[in-house]
Amino acid sequence: MAKIKPSQGAPYARIMGVGGYRPTRVVPNEVILETIDSSDEWIRSRSGISTRHWASPEETVTAMSVEAAGKAIADAGLTPEQIGGVIVSTVSHFKQTPAVATEIADKIGANRPAAFDISAGCAGFGYGLTLAKGMVVEGSAEYVLVIGVERLSDLTDLEDRATAFLFGDGAGAVVVGPAQEPAIGPTVWGSEGDKSETIKQTVAWTEYRDGTVDKFPAITQEGQAVFRWAVFEMAKVAQQALDAAGISAADLDVFIPHQANMRIIDSMVKTLKLPEHVTVARDVETTGNTSAASIPLAMERLLATGQAKSGDTALVIGFGAGLVYAATVVTLP
């Protein structure tokens, strides 16, 4: 019986560079209030959101991803030709096939990399990061580009008082490459499919196609149920990620949760008993909920503004539709 040669990968993997792209149009709450019966004060108190970015027709999923990817590759000190894998997490690319990752890989000038899309909602960045880490350590790619990108304005029902104010557009990207010491911790991830109805697309594409419904599909959610799940269950997952990495909350420099809602973020900080010195990402205030893009966008902003620095230890956690989640501890690039 022949023996298969073992993989020749790196000992560990790390995030080497990060990049982001926010559409040029900034949409204040006043615009949202044109179609729902609410107030700026109510939106801010319930979500912490004051503005969000909405993409123009030219700011496609591909175009935004290419911009974010270019910044991440440059930040990593690499060239596009060195990228051996492209993973794109999105729920708002409306072509079932081919994967938008293949188009992005071509447009950035990568040289025939592995390229595929994943659908893991707001936990998509964590899923992609974990897959990229595996590719680098396993040896199937030396450098992997992970992109979270959304045009959620295309899936927003502007008459839905529960969600019309939540969503924004944008793209965030990181490059994962080899490391000589651990810089991406074990991932704590999973799903709770029995709660899948709490965040979902309103109707299937086929129902819209067949004329069963005349309203384009949108994302809807049961706000209170999602809030309770995120605050209580995801704090437990975050603690499990800290335990898996062998550190405590006191060892953290930065906390980057999915930017779903400011109240959820603040409640998680309290439940985890994070010390005052830990910088907490609150990008949701001006960016809104960008699903798979929210963590890399928040990471990029913290580094760009000096609120976080290279080498900081950060806990990242994403959670959303499915319900799915993924948390890990990383060293910032």
Q: How far is Cα 226 from Cα 214, in angstroms, rounded to an integer?
A: 27
Task: For residue 284, give both structure tokens.
Answer: 């949701």
Residue 122 annotated in active site:
yes
Residue 29 annotated in active site:
no
Dump strand ranges (E) for 101-187.
114-118, 144-151, 169-179
Q: Single out the catalytic residue among 53, 93, 261, 289.
A: 289
The 3-state DSSP class for residue 131 equals helix
Task: For residue 174, give both structure tokens.
Answer: 């990181």
Residue 258 annotated in active site:
yes
CB 94 within 8 A of CB 154: yes
Task: For residue 153, give both structure tokens.
Answer: 């304005």
CB 191 within 8 A of CB 121: no
Residue that is written with structure tokens 């800290």 in the block? 242
Task: For residue 135, give both structure tokens.
Answer: 């590719």
Q: Single out the catalytic residue among 29, 93, 258, 261.
A: 258
Q: How far is Cα 125 from Cα 148, in angstroms, rounded to an integer?
A: 6
Kindly report the number of other CB atoms within 10 A of residue 120's CB atom. 25
Q: In terms of DSSP H, where are the helices of 76-169?
A: 100-108, 124-138
Longest dimension (CA), the chain: 71
Q: Single out the catalytic residue among 29, 53, 93, 122.
A: 122
Q: How far is Cα 255 from Cα 280, in angstroms, rounded to an integer?
A: 5
Catalytic positions, written as ranges:
122, 258, 289
